[in-house]
Amino acid sequence: MIAPGITGMASNPAPRGRWIPWVFVAGFGVVIAVNAVLITAAVGTFTGTTTAGSYDRGLGYSAVLAEAARQKALGWQAGVTRADGAVRLSVRLPDGTPLPADATVTGTLQRPLDRTAVSLAFQPFAPGAWRAPAEVPAPGAWEAVLSVTRGADRLELRERFVIP
* Domain that includes residue 129, residue range: 62-163
Let me know if residue 20 belongs to a domain.
no
pLDDT, position 124: 92
Q: How many domains is the chain built from?
A: 1
Q: Choose among 129, 123, 118, 63: nearest CA to 92.
A: 129
Let me know if residue 38 belongs to a domain.
no
143 residue type, one letter: E
pLDDT, position 13: 65
pLDDT, position 76: 93
Alpha-helix runs per DSSP H in 20-97? 20-45, 54-59, 61-74
As a whole number of angstroms, the distance between CA 147 and CA 143 comes to 13
pLDDT, position 93: 93
- CATH assignment at residue 132: 2.60.40.1940
pLDDT, position 149: 92
pLDDT, position 2: 55
pLDDT, position 40: 92
pLDDT, position 9: 56
Residue pair 87/103 in contact by the 8 Å Cβ criterion? no
Let me know if residue 76 belongs to a domain.
yes
In tens digits, the chain (164 residues) has pLDDT values of: 555 555 555 566 667 788 889 999 999 999 999 999 999 998 887 766 667 777 887 888 898 899 889 989 999 999 999 888 889 999 999 999 999 988 999 999 998 877 789 899 999 989 999 999 988 888 888 999 999 999 989 999 999 988 88
pLDDT, position 95: 92
